[in-house]
Structure 1
Amino acid sequence: MIRIVVKLLVPAMDCCTINWRAYGRDHLNNLDPTKFVINSLDLGTETYTQMLPPPGCEDVVLAASGVCVLMNSFCFYHDFNGTDLVIWQMTEFGDDKSWTQFLKFSYNDIPMNYDFGRYPDFRLTPLYLSENGDTVVFVNSVPDRAIIYNRRTNKVKKARINKKISWSSVYDYVESLVSTS
């Protein structure tokens, strides 16, 4: 089963892209579940691009990674050895050679005190980064919870959401004046 994650991004130019991760292909053009690519569809020009993940991330498990938009930049995040969450930033959108490691969080710095037995697919998803870069909002597979982490003070707040939210269906939306019709 291929899990497609759609993210919207509005770069400096007047267009929108839909971005998702998918399995790559081997040298015989067969699906290769050990490799993946990042696909991008530009809605303004109706062109399709395929990008490679950041260097060294080719073997990252697809389910333990994702794409997001933080501070108006396209980002790729992944679990690193079960100990850290690494976020890469694409400095030149569409150029897969422009990935730079942006942030790295140790799970030990983000105490969550959850019973992981109830949530075997537990993973953090970065949802928002403040303008000054101090505060990060994460969501995860725990229902009705968000994690607000202050990098400067190394403090965590757990926000309880009053409504039932399935975080696996949370997507970025950046308003645009460009019509998609």
Structure 2
Amino acid sequence: MLNWVDVMRNEKENLAEQKNSVNSVPQTLVQKYGKCQEVVRHGAFGIVRVAHKQDPKDSKSEQLYAVKEFKQRARESVKRYQKRLTSEFCISSSMHRPNIITTLDLLQDEKGTYCEAMEYCSSGDLYTLVLAAGQLEVDEADCSFKQLMRGCHYLGLFSALAPLASNDR
């Protein structure tokens, strides 16, 4: 079984291969990322499913991707809907850090629904981890907190929060 570092390395290699291919014919969601199957999360603005695609290098294994299907809100214009999902895609695809899910693509499925393809994190999110564990050991909690702080620093949240912190003194 591969650990998460190996999975991430394989995904990055697969992305590099996809970018270097000289295929001018646009691919569908299923062709690029596989068939969307089980639901991972339901949210207010969409559903996240796992897409399964046979590994081109090894027919006995498969590549997994998370695919978010964007829902159009009631009374939301098509223009507003497209602006919302494009904004989310632009922001998420610009994030490049080890502990931030990599956003790969924005495309439409066979029904015309806009979908965002992302790397799949088989170990889940921190919230699910804490719920499953019941209680984290001190070292696990420290490690998780350190990773959260690094992510916040990357996002520039410390500089945005600094004026608030100085007002509390």
Which structure's residues are more often strand, by fraction? 1
Which structure's residues are more often helix, by fraction? 2
TM-score by length of 2: 0.27
TM-score by length of 1: 0.25
User: Over alpha carbons, which structure has the higher Rg?
Assistant: 2
